[in-house]
Amino acid sequence: MMQTLIVCEKPDAAARVARALDEDGDPRRIETQGVPVYESRNRHETIIVCSALGHLYAVDSKTHTSRRYYPVWDFEWKPKHLIDKKSARLGRWIQIISSLAEKADRYINACDYDVEGSLIGHTILRYACRGADSKAQRMKFSTMTEKELKSAYKTLAPQLDIQLVEAGRTRHELDWLYGINLSRLLTESALKQNRGYSTLSTGRVQGPTLKFVVDKEEEIQCFTPTPFWTIDATLTQNGQEYTLEYEKEKISTLAEAELVVRDCKNCILEVESTESRNIQQSPPYPFDLSTLQSEAYRHFGYTPSRTLALAEKLYLEALISYPRTSSQKLPPDIGYSEILHGIASMAQYRTLATKLTLQNSLHPNQGPKDDPAHPAVYPTGESPKRALIQPEANLLNLIIKRFMSAFAEPSLRESSKLTLKKDPHRFFLRGTRLLREGWIQFYRPYASDESQNLPDLKVGDKTPITKIQATPKFTEPPPRYNPSSLLRKMEEENIGTKATRAEIIEILYRRSYIKNIRIEATPLALKLINLLNKYCPLIIDPAFTANLETAMDNIQTLQITRSHVIAETLDHLRPIMLDLIAREDEIGSQLAEAVVSQRIARLTFDYPCPQCGSKLKIIRSRTSGKRFIGCTGYQNGCRFTLPLPQFGNLSITQTNCKICGFQLVQARTKGRRPMTSCARCYSNKTRANATEFPTAAAPSAAQQATDKLVEATSLVKDQ
Amino acid sequence: METEQATADLCPVHARVLDSVKKAYEAWAKAYGSLRLPDFLQRVAKLQGTGRTTREIVEFLQKNPEKWK
């Protein structure tokens, strides 16, 4: 009997594919050395479904094995477990896949259908399956439903998508060349100053992204407010108060503002005109990944990386389609009606989904963005087989409602404006009323349906102003980026990919280049960007990175070759590296200084010790290894301590507790929502109650006496 | 590459901020009709929206009023 080997991207995906392709829907699970493999059978063949764990192969130096050597120009693809100690278990996966490949007659790449998935499958088939990439077939699907998987298996592409593979290879090789060379240079040059180790990194996408934050930070730090005035006026009609809008939004001089108030105080306003128009608002476009991330941040506060992780989980459970998509289009072949019937089978959507199924025809409102590989994110209509955790349920609800609203009719809103005069001044009253709900009823509570009624006034009517004053205000600095708006900026500037942008932002947090949800650049980031701007500005130029992105897109469309792009990169990077190496000492001394001062600042609270007024610091106990807050006035007899969370990277935020005023501490753990808490309130609470989450009990005075105030970076790194 | 001129007392960034503080003073003086420089500096220093670098320049000017010219 013929034997087929299918390579999937993740174990969960392998399980689903195996179940879909097995005649009885019950494949045999064989686990060898912790590596799960599935055996599915049908009348004609045995199908072995194995999986990767993301990338099993990665780029590494061909000749230099030292992780500290630079510059490096020669590279090759190697098993990841030989490059990174943390990936040691991947060796077993490669070994098992290799042994399975020996018995196979046919090979299929069933990894996610995008650049990364194509590359993951390709490297496995090429290196672990000894050149099977040349004869392998490609299984393409956008959802993990049984129906689609079966259909994808029946309609296999005869060969691998080589253009996607080439584009993926180039991206990894370019990122490696830039990342390894620049990051090693930065880290090593700072290390050579003998002031402690700190990983400093930059890269093709990381550098320009950090520059966006640093530019914004500089704009905020260099901001000087200027005064202006607004006119706040109201009128009362039938016992209801209405806020008037003065014709000038901002008045730049006090004299003019006072003149308006003087002229209009206790005056009678006459209605000069009334305007009313109906505005039709089309339904929102179906979700592409970045809009989904942005909307999830807006409504639930989920960071882009968290949204992606949740969406991938929902995808692997066949609840939604593939989330890493740029498309805002829903092609008819996804089966609108079937999906809506599926949604209607869930009690909470029954009424709304049924309304749509009763429509004569179904036409979604589609957006302009497209993706050749996948449609927009949509629900499959399948009900969850387990109780979803709240964030998963929230995201699924958002996706289902967005999908339904795309098929609904436009909403109709009446917008009205009354113009009232007291010559030479004009005031406006604006109102809005929903005439037809349309898609809004399907997208509640994520769409606003607020109405603002207007008083019953006609042209020529007169009404007194009840209150008027000039309010002094000052211009504000530009708003900071948050993870969602930074991701949007990356997308606008065309740097990174839909799949990598969220991870890049996470790296910036991990490297302590940025902090807080309203993103602030740290002094280290300011120094780094300042140095890169001085010595190699092109590296952090978004336009340069965007050009490389375009070059990689052109590889996919066969307009340019991988070797051409790599050769150009080497020509560009070599002189930059040689120049930087010549200035290594200068760069290193400046970076080391920034690293040391950041290390101290990261561990020191602005809030003084409530007992003695000295500085409070994060300290790790030498005896227990636990972290706690201690007072630097310890030598003078102060014994003030507070407990701290014992997991994640800790950072001291600039936000103060609303209850006690103490500075909040944030614990960040990869893939989890950052936890912000007040150590002081927690301490007070735990004294009253039993402990709820793992924190270190503050050490006794005797124990603290044996602990030294250690201020190494490792203090706040617990991963 | 763009180059910026540092002054004898200030780095390029602070020199640039000094210029923008001078421009802001003009806007403030026009807004209020008239305003003494020390009052302007005192008020800017107290505002929440004032940036850190601007605050440093304001403090520098409060200590060294002769640098205004």
pLDDT digits (tens, 9 = 90+) for A65-95: 788 898 999 999 999 999 988 899 999 999 9
The domains of chain A, with CATH numbers, are 2-160 (3.40.50.140), 169-221+480-596 (1.10.460.10), 227-283+411-474 (2.70.20.10), 289-406 (1.10.290.10), 603-715 (no CATH)
Whether A294 shows a pLDDT value over 60: the answer reads yes
Coil vs helix vs strand at A309: helix
Distance from C-alpha of A566 to C-alpha of A573, rounded to nearest angstrom: 10
Are A474 and B49 a contacting pair at CB < 8 A?
yes
Judged by CB atoms closer than 8 Å, whether chains meet at B53 and A222 is answered as yes
How far is A88 from A171, CA to CA, in rounded Å? Answer: 24
Average pLDDT, integer, range A291-301: 95
For range A577-590, the mean pLDDT: 91
pLDDT at A689: 64
- Whether residue A218 lies within 8 A of chain B, CB to CB, comes out as yes
Long-range contacts of range A690-698, CB-CB < 8 Å, 24 or more positions apart? A693/A645, A694/A645, A694/A646, A694/A647, A695/A643, A695/A644, A695/A645, A695/A646, A696/A621, A696/A624, A696/A626, A696/A627, A696/A628, A696/A643, A696/A644, A696/A646, A697/A626, A697/A643, A698/A628, A698/A629, A698/A630, A698/A641, A698/A642, A698/A643
Segments in A347-455 forming alpha helices (H):
350-357, 390-407, 440-443
Mean pLDDT of the A660-664 span? 90
**Average pLDDT value for residue range A576-599:** 88
pLDDT at residue A171, as a whole number? 93
Of A224, A475, A534, the CB nearest to B20: A224
pLDDT band at A703 (very low <50, low <70, confident <90, very high): very low
- Does B37 have pLDDT greater than 70? yes
Contact criterion met (CB below 8 Å) for A221 and A478: no
Read off the pLDDT of each residue in A624-637 and give the average, rounded to a whole number: 90
Catalytic residues of A: 322
- Is the pLDDT at A489 greater than 90, yes or no? yes
**Inter-chain touch B20–A222, beta carbons under 8 Å:** yes
Note whether B6 contacts A: Cβ–Cβ < 8 A: no
The reply to whether B33 touches chain A by the CB within 8 Å rule is yes
Are A232 and A440 contacting, i.e. CB atoms less than 8 angstroms apart? no
Residue A715: per-residue pLDDT: 35
Instruction: Give the per-residue pLDDT at A711.
Output: 34
Structure letter (DSSP) for residue A548: H
Q: Comparing C-alpha atoms, which of A78, A201, A74 is closest to residue A574? A: A74
Contact by Cβ (8 Å): A354, A344: yes
Mean pLDDT of the region A479-500: 92
Q: Does A100 or A702 have the greater pLDDT score?
A: A100
Sign of CA dihedral A587, A593, A595, A601: negative
Q: Taking residues A657-685, what's their average pLDDT?
A: 86
CB pairs under 8 A between A and B: 59
The chain-wide mean pLDDT, for chain A, equals: 90
- The answer to which of A438-447, A574-583, A690-699 has the lowest mean pLDDT is A690-699
- pLDDT exceeds 90 at position A599: no
What are A111-137's pLDDT values in tens digits?
Answer: 999 999 999 999 999 999 999 999 999
What is the pLDDT, as a whole number, of residue A499? 81
pTM: 0.81
Distances (CA, A) of A45 to A24, A111, A291, A380: 14, 21, 43, 29
Q: Which of B16, B19, B53 would best serve as a mutation to test chain A binding (most A beta carbons within 10 A)?
A: B53
Answer yes or no: is pLDDT of A483 > 70. yes
Whether B34 and chain A come into contact, CB under 8 Å, resolves to no
B62: distance to nearest CA of chain A, Å? 16
The predicted model gives A464-468 an average pLDDT of: 92
Residues of A in contact with B47 (CB under 8 A): 225, 474
**Predicted confidence band of residue A704 (pLDDT cuts 50, 70, 90):** very low
Percent of chain A with pLDDT over 70: 95
Region A226-232 average pLDDT? 96
**Which band of pLDDT confidence, cut at 50, 70 and 90, is reported for residue A221?**
very high
What pLDDT sits at residue B6?
Answer: 52
* pLDDT of A691 over the 80 cut: no
A502: pLDDT strictly greater than 50:
yes
Instruction: Let me know: does A706 contact A631? Beta carbons within 8 Å.
Output: no
Chain A: closest CA distance from residue B41 (Å): 11
> If you average pLDDT over residues A359-384, what whole number do you get?
92
Instruction: Name the band, by pLDDT with cuts 50, 70 and 90, for residue A718.
Output: very low
Percent of chain A whose pLDDT exceeds 90: 69
**Average of per-residue pLDDT across A273-293:** 95
Across the interface, whether the CB atoms of A226 and B47 are under 8 A apart is answered: no
Contact call for A221 and B51, based on CB within 8 A: yes
pLDDT(A687) > 80: no
Q: Up-side HSE of residue A353: CA atoms within 13 Å toward CB? A: 22
pLDDT in tens, A190-219: 898 887 788 888 899 999 999 999 999 999
- Interval A154-187: pLDDT, tens: 999 999 999 999 999 999 999 999 999 999 999 9
Q: Is the pLDDT of residue A692 over 80?
A: no
The 3-state secondary structure of A201-260 reads CCCCCHHHHHHHHHHHHHHHHCCCCCEEEEEEEEEEECCEEEEEEECCCCECCHHHHHHH
